[in-house]
């Protein structure tokens, strides 16, 4: 390990950055060093700009990937190397706003029925029933299921924050049946490696297999079930603030975007045009064409 990599790692640990964030940042800085075949410490604003142009025009990376690169380089040069030109010379790309594709309740039920493995089905049912991120589901422990208070404890979710979410009666029955059949000892969903939970990649693979079996044309990932959870709650009249707490969103704006996809709530709103006084008809209206 080079002294620069060691120092950057220590800087991230001091600030308690998430483990996956640390790995991602180190990977991006390593890619920069390989591109120039030089230590990043010897590079200046022009080289960084050329690298960002390369990532944008030649590698054609998505805006999200470009933001990760920029964030990693900003941390290296601003925090570890303490260069004063960072904010002006390493811009953060603007990410386009995209609405998630939402599964209907019927589609969720059909999808879950298409999962062959009982273990994978239980994992994805839990993701939908409690609105969890897939990493939160895979890292559940048996002691996180509180049947007395009907809650699930999420330990160190995104942003390294604990929270509690709902535990539905049906989910509790499914989890009890799963426990009786498999008898896990520590992790609720253990993986193939002893003492380790199931990987998110294994759940992703099971999700894609079930999507093909279900015949649903919409894109489906484990996170799609979290989107469906929030949207279906909103459509059933649940307060946005409560949904924010259940989802573990830091900002209410993150939760409010589901207002844009909750069709039964938004589209059912009465247009003010329909509330205008209607003039008395002077003659019978013509019959509209059949295609209208």
Please pick, among 7, 141, 209, 223, the residue that the annotation labels catalytic: 223
Tell me if residue 15 is catalytic.
Answer: no
Tell me if residue 120 is catalytic.
Answer: no
Tell me if residue 158 is catalytic.
Answer: yes
Please pick, among 158, 164, 209, 257, the residue that the annotation labels catalytic: 158
Please pick, among 211, 226, 227, 232, the residue that the annotation labels catalytic: 226
Tell me if residue 223 is catalytic.
Answer: yes
DSSP assignment string, the chain: --HHHHHHHHHHHHTT--HHHHHHHHHHHHHHHHHHTS-GGG--HHHHHHHHHIIIIIS---HHHHHHHHHHHHIIIIIIS--TTHHHHSPPPPPPP-PPP---HHHHHHHHHT---HHHHHHHHHHHHHT--HHHHHT-BGGGEETTTTEEEEEEETTTEEEEEE--HHHHHHHHHHHHHH--SSBSSB-SSTTSBPPHHHHHHHHHHHHHHHT--S---HHHHHHHHHHHHHHTT--HHHHHHHHT-SSHHHHHGGGGT-HHHHTTSPPGGGGSPPPPPSSPPPPPPTT-
Tell me if residue 232 is catalytic.
Answer: no
Please pick, among 121, 133, 139, 227, the residue that the annotation labels catalytic: 133
Please pick, among 51, 77, 178, 258, the residue that the annotation labels catalytic: 258
Tell me if residue 241 is catalytic.
Answer: no
Q: Which residues are the active-site residues?
A: 133, 158, 223, 226, 249, 258
């Amino acid at each position: 390990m080079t002294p620069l990599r060691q120092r950057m790692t220590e800087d991230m640990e001091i600030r308690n950055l998430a483990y996956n964030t640390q790995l991602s940042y180190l990977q991006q800085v390593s890619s920069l060093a390989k591109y120039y075949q030089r230590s990043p410490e010897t590079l200046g604003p022009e080289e960084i700009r050329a690298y960002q142009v390369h990532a944008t025009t030649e590698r054609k990376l998505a805006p999200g990937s470009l933001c990760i690169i920029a964030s990693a380089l900003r941390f290296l040069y601003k925090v570890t190397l303490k260069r004063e030109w960072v904010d002006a010379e390493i811009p953060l790309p603007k990410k386009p706003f995209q609405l998630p594709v939402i599964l209907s309740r019927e589609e969720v039920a059909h999808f879950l029925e298409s999962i062959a493995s009982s273990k994978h089905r239980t994992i994805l049912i839990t993701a939908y029933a409690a609105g969890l991120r897939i990493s939160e589901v895979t890292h559940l422990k048996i002691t996180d299921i509180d049947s007395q208070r009907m809650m699930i404890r999420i330990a160190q979710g995104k942003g390294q924050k604990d929270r509690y979410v709902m535990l539905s009666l049906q989910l509790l029955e499914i989890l009890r049946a799963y426990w009786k059949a498999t008898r896990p000892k520590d992790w609720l969903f253990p993986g193939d490696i002893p003492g380790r939970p199931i990987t998110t990649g294994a759940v992703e693979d099971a999700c894609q297999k079930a999507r093909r079996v279900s015949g649903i044309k919409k894109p489906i990932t484990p996170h799609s079930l979290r989107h469906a959870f929030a949207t279906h709650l909103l459509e059933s009249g649940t307060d946005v603030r409560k949904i924010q707490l259940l989802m573990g969103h830091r900002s209410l704006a993150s939760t409010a975007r589901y207002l844009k996809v909750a069709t039964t709530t938004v589209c059912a709103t009465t247009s003010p045009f329909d509330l205008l006084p209607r003039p008395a008809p002077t003659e019978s209206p013509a019959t509209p064409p059949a295609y209208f």
